[in-house]
Amino acid sequence: MGKFIRLKKGFDINMAGKAAPKIATIDQPETFAIKPTDFQGIYMPKMMVKEGDTVKAGTPLFHDKRHENIVFTAPVSGEVVQVKRGEKRKLLEVVILADKEVDYVSFNRYSVSDISGITREAAQQQMIDSGVWVNIIQRPFGIVADPQAKPKSIFISGFDSSPLAPDYGILFKGQEQYFQAGIDILKKFTSGHIHLNVHTSQELPSAFAQAKGAELNKFSGPHPSGCVGVQIHHIDPINKGDVVWTINPFGVIQIGKLFLNGVYDASRIIAVGGSEVKEPQYYKTYTGASVKKFLTGNLKQDHVRVVSGNVLTGTSIGTEGYVGFHDQQITVIPEGDYYEFLGWIKPTAAKLSYHRAFGLFSFLSPKKEFVLDSNTRGEPRAFVQTGVFEQVTPMDILPTYLLKSIMAEDFDEMEALGIYEVIEEDLALCEFVDVSKHNIQSILREGIDLMLNS
Amino acid sequence: MKFLRDTLDKAKHSFEKGGKYHKYFYVFEALDTFHFSPNTVTPARGAQVRDAVDLKRLMMTVVIAMIPCLLFGIWNVGYQHYLALGQAASAGDIITVGLIQVLPIVIVAYAAGGLVEVVFAIMRRHPINEGYLVTGMLIPLVMPPDIPLWQVAVASIFSVVIAKEAFGGTGMNILNVALTARAFLYFAYPLQISGEVWTYLPAGAKTVAGYSGATPMAVAAQASTEGESVVQAFTSFGAGWGDNLYSFTNMFFGFMPGCIGETSTLMCLIGALILIVTGVGSWKIIVSVFAGALGMGAFLNLIAVNEYMAMPAYYHLVIGGLAFGAVFMATDPVTAAQTESGKWVYGLLIGILTVLIRVFNPAYPEGIMLAILFMNVMAPLVDYMVVSANKKRRLQRATV
């Protein structure tokens, strides 16, 4: 039986510009891109195609040098028009000019009843070859899953609690049989449970309600209750030596489609929201879409920051960038590069704060939707205030001590203080509420990289 | 405002790298950021939006919470002055005397300590820390009204250099800076900070008949050696010139001699309310200091072998600087315990130690200063135990 976990700690960032529950139909973007930087734990991605090559949806674009068989495949068919590299020739983006109709590489097709007969090895081979494999993220450290690993359990977070999060009922409507097929495939990879976690106050999408073979756990409480790391901590915590896999429902469905339809189907629904979007709503597109089409003529002003993902963990991609591999929302907020006279002390009810320090009145209006911009609202300082990180981290973890052990590069301390249990998103709220304006997520990633390379 | 912004922008590049005054960049930065919150934006990866709070606002909240204590202190300095002289005085007179005595101390503390901040910011190339906003206000509030100004300056400089900058600045210090200033004076210039210095009396002033400047703690210690009930001694104190000066309610409101800002338990409680409502000060520490003092006082009542031990425990909460220390000194987040359960232990021990020092160590009539400084040093140990317990839970889980 599933568990019920009541979380109290955390904070819901209530932002203006929530996507209306409708799916707009527009022309598909012309270009799509896959970015190696969206994946952790891959080293020196090697290109397998070159500019000018034509690809089908499911054709490998590049692979990881350390795990040569893990490939990253094209979401749509078309022509590779650009291989964008940065400093030291670091691979940044592989851009594909999409065909009008998507042409698929064909993989083995199975009927629903055949799925139980597929061996783990056969399933694994098809998942790796088609590119759905990289949906699976391995804890500790949030890296692309190692095919040799034997996870003690697999976690699926069935809701998103982050700011302006899309509604999973809209994202995964009508995908019931694919979701089920995906669960059935994933079951082959673990001797433990598949945990599907949902929120008590959100309507249960029917794909989840009907799912068999997964433990259905219920959570209550504010963000970060939807972060899968928090869920793992409360249900089946990661100890030294443990491996747990996580995958979001989109990945499960993509696996289901691979086996039932025999194709790498990257079609997905994304939410486009944020205070600067004229009509926040959902769009049907493919993984890695260029955001241009969704934003042209749909912005209230020019001076904006376009974020792939949510504002806590996302990446600023500009008005012509591409949606990240794992992201299912785009958030557009005002750019905050302005000075404000006496901004550090002026009383205000318009700026959102978790704190209630002098002049910050946002706590009086918990229902209000705030416009948040990218200003840092102050300068970096040493750690001073204590106890706040703990209030937004619903885990038995002491974030300040963990962060300090990372800064000191003390491996034993990092391990003892729980670095195996967290990745960036789990501590993203700490970064938001931090009085001293540390870039906590990048500090944490530095620590994880130290552990990975040790 | 545009003019001011333009002027700052124009001046900015001579302070930036390669500019003529690059050495003074952090002085400029402090000036700039006190006028305008900066235009910096979040990095491309990670949290794209940030909370409206920053350290300046946090520190100003503490300063605001101290204002009731400051205002009352100004009044009380004047009030005690005229009481000791036995003269009737108008509110205007009282406030004038209070302002003349208190304001210079505040200005000197801010100027002397602030100067050290600036010098260190230039030398060590770190931003000027707004922590001094709080320290510069705390120091005057724990000074006797009669203190020579040069001592205020020396103490401020000493404490900022030794207690803070030597450790790397705000956030790195081990001892509470303002209490270090007070302790420095206590041990370096004991004459000016102990005995009958708690009421402002100009040299040669003629006090009212029967006047005594003894503080409640001195009265209590005195009564105890003479085997007289402490409460009785409080009641009879001031007879003829300041009736009921040391009654419980009078001491709760703070109309008694003492440090400028710490006499009034009521004003400290208002400050505590501000700190707790805004979440800036830890309510756990404030509550546990009071609880520790009350509990220790009650325990001493039970086993009392002398009159000080028999003094009703709740008197401990209104005499001396316990309330001020609990609210404004013990809650300093940098020097206090930093773990949530550690804060309970830290606060309780401060309360217990304060009462122990008061009752059993006649050399140090006020215990809160040394209790907090001692627990500042011990706080990392308290945290170490809490953190070890956290690690242990994680290890135990692994074997299950």
The pLDDT tens digits of the residues spanning A55-110 come to: 999 999 999 988 888 999 999 999 999 999 999 899 999 999 999 999 999 999 99
To the nearest whole number, what is the mean pLDDT of chain A?
A: 94
Token readout for B153 is 């300056």
Residue numbers in B near A374 (CB within 8 A): 41-42, 48-49
Query: In this structure, are B230 and B124 located in the same domain?
Result: no
Token readout for A311 is 């504002």
Residue B279: closest C-alpha in chain A: A356
**pLDDT, mean of residues B177-188:** 93
At B295 the three-state DSSP class reads helix
Q: Whole-model pTM?
A: 0.93
By Cβ distance, the residue of A314, A398, A401 closest to B48 is A314
Query: In this structure, are B157 and B243 located in the same domain?
Result: no
* B344 in Cβ contact with B284 (< 8 Å): yes
Query: In this structure, are B378 and B247 located in the same domain?
Result: yes
List, in sequence order, every residue forming a beta bridge with A281; answer none if it has no partner: A272
Residue B374 falls inside a structural domain: yes
Token readout for B272 is 């505590």
Query: Roughly how many angstroms between the first and final C-alpha of chain B, as a whole number?
Result: 64
Token readout for A142 is 């949030």
For residues B149 and B152, what is the distance between their CA atoms, to the nearest angstrom? Answer: 5
Q: Are strands A244-246 and A304-308 parallel, antiparallel or unpaired?
A: unpaired
At A328 the three-state DSSP class reads coil
For residues B14 and B26, what is the distance between their CA atoms, to the nearest angstrom? Answer: 12
Residue, of B240 and A286, whose pLDDT is higher: A286
Q: What percent of chain B has pLDDT over 90?
A: 68
Residue B1 falls inside a structural domain: no
Residue B239 falls inside a structural domain: yes
Residue B1: closest C-alpha in chain A: A341
For residues A443 and A449, what is the distance between their CA atoms, to the nearest angstrom? Answer: 10
Structure letter (DSSP) for residue A387? S
* B335 in Cβ contact with B371 (< 8 Å): no
For residues A208 and A250, what is the distance between their CA atoms, to the nearest angstrom? Answer: 12
Query: Roughly how many angstroms between the first and final C-alpha of chain A, as a whole number?
Result: 39
Contact A359 B57 (CB under 8 A): yes
Residue B168: closest C-alpha in chain A: A382
pLDDT reported for residue B399: 62
Band of residue B40 on the pLDDT scale cut at 50, 70, 90: very high
The pLDDT tens digits of the residues spanning B63-120 come to: 999 999 999 999 999 999 999 998 888 999 999 999 999 999 999 999 999 999 999 9
CB count, 10 Å around CB of A199?
20
pLDDT above 90: residue B170 = no
Residue numbers in B near A398 (CB within 8 A): 339, 387, 390
* Strand blocks (E) in A53-177: 54-55, 60-63, 71-73, 78-85, 91-98, 137-139, 143-144, 153-157
Band of residue B18 on the pLDDT scale cut at 50, 70, 90: confident
Residue B158 falls inside a structural domain: yes
pLDDT above 80: residue B172 = yes
Band of residue B150 on the pLDDT scale cut at 50, 70, 90: very high
pLDDT reported for residue B128: 87
Contact A307 B61 (CB under 8 A): no
For residues A134 and A41, what is the distance between their CA atoms, to the nearest angstrom? Answer: 11
Query: In this structure, are B240 and B376 located in the same domain?
Result: yes
Which residue, A436, A40, A375, is CA-closest to B43? A375
DSSP assignment of B7-25 equals: HHHHHHHHHSTTSTTGGGH
Q: What are the two backbone dihedrals, phi and then psi, of residue B292, each rounded to the nearest 5 degrees?
A: -65, -45
* B264 in Cβ contact with B69 (< 8 Å): yes
Q: What are the two backbone dihedrals, phi and then psi, of residue A331, each rounded to the nearest 5 degrees?
A: -120, 130
Residues 6+ apart with CB under 8 A from B354: B289, B292, B293, B296, B316, B322, B325, B367, B368, B371
The residue to which tokens 């400290």 are assigned: B268
**pLDDT, mean of residues A32-38:** 96
Contact B48 A376 (CB under 8 A): no
Q: Which helix (H) or strand (E) holds A246?
A: strand A244-246
Query: In this structure, are B226 and B372 located in the same domain?
Result: yes
pLDDT reported for residue A277: 96
The pLDDT tens digits of the residues spanning A259-284 come to: 999 999 999 999 999 999 999 999 99
By Cβ distance, the residue of A381, A418, A431 closest to B47 is A431
CB count, 10 Å around CB of A278?
12
Judged by a CB distance cut-off of 8 A, whether residue A383 touches chain B is yes
For residues A430 and A144, what is the distance between their CA atoms, to the nearest angstrom? Answer: 25
Query: In this structure, are B249 and B355 located in the same domain?
Result: yes
Q: Please tell me whether the interface predicted TM-score (ipTM) of this complex is above 0.90.
A: yes
* A99 in Cβ contact with A76 (< 8 Å): yes
Query: In this structure, are B270 and B153 located in the same domain?
Result: no
Residue B43 falls inside a structural domain: no
H-only helix segments in A245-373: 249-261, 292-295
Judged by a CB distance cut-off of 8 A, whether residue B44 touches chain A is yes
Query: In this structure, are B125 and B244 located in the same domain?
Result: no
* Overall size of chain A counted in residues: 454
For residues A72 and A428, what is the distance between their CA atoms, to the nearest angstrom? Answer: 27
* B88 in Cβ contact with B114 (< 8 Å): no
At A5 the three-state DSSP class reads strand
Q: Are strands B36-37 and A340-341 parallel, antiparallel or unpaired?
A: antiparallel
* Overall size of chain B counted in residues: 400
Query: In this structure, are B288 and B363 located in the same domain?
Result: yes
Contact A374 B129 (CB under 8 A): no
pLDDT above 60: residue B400 = no
The C-alpha angle with vertex A47 and arms to A44 and A53, in degrees rounded to 5, equals 165
Residue B375 falls inside a structural domain: yes
Q: What percent of chain A has pLDDT over 70?
A: 100
C-alpha distance from B381 to closest chain A C-alpha (Å): 14
Range of the domain at B143: 55-193
Residue B398 falls inside a structural domain: no
Residue, of B1 and A427, whose pLDDT is higher: A427
For residues B123 and B120, what is the distance between their CA atoms, to the nearest angstrom? Answer: 5
Query: In this structure, are B189 and B234 located in the same domain?
Result: no
At A290 the three-state DSSP class reads strand
Contact B52 A360 (CB under 8 A): yes
H-only helix segments in A137-220: 168-171, 176-186, 206-209
pLDDT above 60: residue B240 = yes
Q: With left for phi above 0 and alpha for psi between -120 and 50, is residue B258 left, alpha or beta?
A: left
Judged by a CB distance cut-off of 8 A, whether residue A364 touches chain B is no
* B135 in Cβ contact with B113 (< 8 Å): yes
The pLDDT tens digits of the residues spanning A177-203 come to: 999 999 999 999 999 999 999 999 999
Residue B204 falls inside a structural domain: no
Count structural domains, chain B: 2
The pLDDT tens digits of the residues spanning B337-370 come to: 999 999 999 999 999 999 999 999 877 777 899 9
Q: What percent of chain A has pLDDT over 90?
A: 91
Contact A375 B37 (CB under 8 A): yes
Q: Are strands A153-157 and A194-199 parallel, antiparallel or unpaired?
A: parallel
* A156 in Cβ contact with A180 (< 8 Å): no
List, in sequence order, every residue forming a beta bridge with B285; answer none if it has no partner: none
For residues B267 and B275, what is the distance between their CA atoms, to the nearest angstrom? Answer: 12
pLDDT reported for residue B241: 87
Which residue, A23, A63, A14, A47, is CA-closest to A285? A23
Query: In this structure, are B114 and B235 located in the same domain?
Result: no
Q: Which helix (H) or strand (E) holds B64?
A: helix B55-85
* A420 in Cβ contact with A242 (< 8 Å): yes
Query: In this structure, are B223 and B181 located in the same domain?
Result: no
Token readout for A271 is 């939410």
To the nearest whole number, what is the mean pLDDT of chain B?
A: 92
